[in-house]
Structure 1
């Protein structure tokens, strides 16, 4: 298993991971509502992922196992974890944990003493088990609203 910076050649695989993860693993959040799924995955096409990868304010990473991209993550230069998704068929291999550790390290390298993210209902327990704590009420105003969380970063 390895975690590395994402590259342009990873875009198709990243798109597949993001879309499959949202559709198959996040039903608790989108309720299998086609409109909610469409809204959430709209920018997860290869073109959308390429745009994200080109965004200088977003640092994107992939976790691989058996030479296959199995998880996708990103941090912002403003101190947030913006993405952390795993392929449904690659869950429970440690990819998400390894990716989260890398994302936290990247935030530290950017000078942040505290990280922030917005967790899905699906991922809340995962983040809590990694030391993240609730940081306010559920967000509102979007088709899918997450839960703000924060964590003091070592260092």
Structure 2
């Protein structure tokens, strides 16, 4: 299980996580700046931006999962677009509201990153048939990782509602 959480190279996992955390901070700051400069946008624009963020998070988590096989890196990569939820509390919220938004965003990132990781593992499984690649996690191990991710992501996403 450890090799799937940390990936084939723990150093590469640390690089992916560091880059993704930096991108997440950038996303949160850009969302806060957008709210200060532009203000609220229409529902259509908001849905378009959210869709682009969702696709970007899936792509980032897929790349992290495919290149390194790390579920942790996929979680943090999934957190990148979800960090935009922290922008509003950064503008006019308290530290408690910022913390709650951060925890909820982490939960959403775990769930989004898990989807990207599952797609990456299945792509890796398909590519391993014709290329000399390390063996991907078994489907049973993948199921265990997905269950862990769904429980963790749901707890983190729902926890702010009860605090």
The structure richer in helix per residue is 2
Q: TM-score range by the shorter chain?
A: under 0.3
State TM-score, norm by structure 2.
0.26
The structure richer in strand per residue is 1
State TM-score, norm by structure 1.
0.27
